[in-house]
A and B are shown apart, each in its own frame.
Chain A
Amino acid sequence: MPLEALVFYLLAALTIGSALIVAGSHNLVYSAFALLGTFMGVAGLYALLAADFVAVIQVMLYIGGILVLILFAVMLTHRIADVEVSNRTVGRIPAALILGVVGTVMGVCIEAAEWVQHAEPVVEPTTLGIGEAFLGPYILPFELASVVLLVALIGAVVVSRKELRGPMVDG
């Protein structure tokens, strides 16, 4: 078996297996930790697709940022005592039926469509090209992104702080 195929199937198994735990586990803590496997697998797939910069960003932002944030929220909100039923689900069978249909249709489309493909996929360091794209054609969305992040930062503080009602307490 060629090395590329071996690596691909290992990463795909890691990604989909962890995603199964995320979607199916009865314990919210297990779901949150299984997300780590999905993010790592997806980062590996990015590296396999020669997207080195995005793979590193995935590890730094998703695993270092978002996942830690989610774990904090899990620890802060859910009572450790009733951990067994922390992640209840409703309507499993209708959802599975609908998604079976949706997944089958999309799978048939993926199989049937004639995708445009380059004969020779590009494999080269991507940092320079991405940097030039950000400071060239994508300069406006890039600057807007910083505003969005600032708004999200302030918004999160405003939403999650404790509301102080009534007369101001001195001191």
Chain B
Amino acid sequence: MKVACLLIPDFAVAVARRDHPETRGRPLIVAAAGEDAPRVRACCPQAVRSGVSEGMVLRRALSLCPKAAVVPADERALAETAAALRTLAERHSPAVEEAAPGHLHLDVRGLAQLAGLADEAYLADLQRAASAASGLPVSIGAGPGVFAAHAAAAAASAEHAGKTGAPPPVLVPEEGVAEFLAPLPVEVLPLPTAMHQRLRLLGIERLGQLAALPRSAVAAQFGPAGARAWDLAAGKDTSTVVPRRPERTAGAAMELPAPASTAEQLLAATSALLQQALEAPALRGAAWRRCTWRLELESGEAVVRVVTFREPTSDGERMLFVLRQKIARLTLPSPGVRLSLKLSGLCGEYGHQAVLWPSGPRRRRELLEAAEQLSARYGEPQIFRVVEVEPWSRIPERQLALVAFGR
């Protein structure tokens, strides 16, 4: 057992069912605001069988499946549930990949032995913890590769459809991957829906049927995606768990010494926090792209402003300049009591080509004087300029040379 897959099938629907138990027994459509009209964000398999699909205008979906219960998408609940599951997985494994919200791959090599458990017991323990963390039945599969684990979780979930609780974990043995995959439907392959449909139109419904075809024929029909699908169906999976890289941030927070409502007070506090955040020893000199400024008010509300800098910067003054405009425009319903800020989007600072003499002869005189002072101080010229000596030469070192600046 090398990889485990935690899967909550139809994640948005599962979360909506959990939060709206009154919809049990009815088809469910999760709706979200579209550009012009409300649209289907997700729907249960029963609604899919009635012809409803993701992205469809809600009015049309309801005409196809009139008995469906409609629930607005609760993005916050979705994000929180996905985060709870992710946090739990990251506590169990050093390498966790989030394929989608509610769908995680964990590198579990050696973890069962480390915990002194058999593989099955370890998976059952992981499943209990995941179900408790998310409040949802979590399917779990494990195998020697990412796809085998995913297929095992999907198979466990499909076999358990219509029943309550979580399906028992499925463990694929290392030497029997192709045999395990053979009877599974082609829909477990990570391919676009259109390709699943094309496979079915060609009479290929199971992975075993796909693997029985010549690889070259599948590749010729479906291109590189087909070749990859054939490899997976034949149990040849070389993919590995690619863990997400946690974003590096810097931040600081303070309780305001007195409830603050004027821009001047807030600016002074912001300036102090910026200085504190930028002085973190591990990240000193780093350039940041984004700043999240959060002011908690006496009334319990919070005012949040997210500022994205035009260029990444490590300069607190420049950050304050941008934040000043946001803070000055604030109208607070009650005084602020706690201020925090978080810098994110760590990256390199842009380089700028400085101009040596941007404003005529006076500037040039100053520069010459500064160059002379440096020469006097160190006993030899310190600033040079590149000159072409023999640009036509075939000998590279004869083409260009440095000459002391000002001579």
Query: Do A and B bind?
Result: no
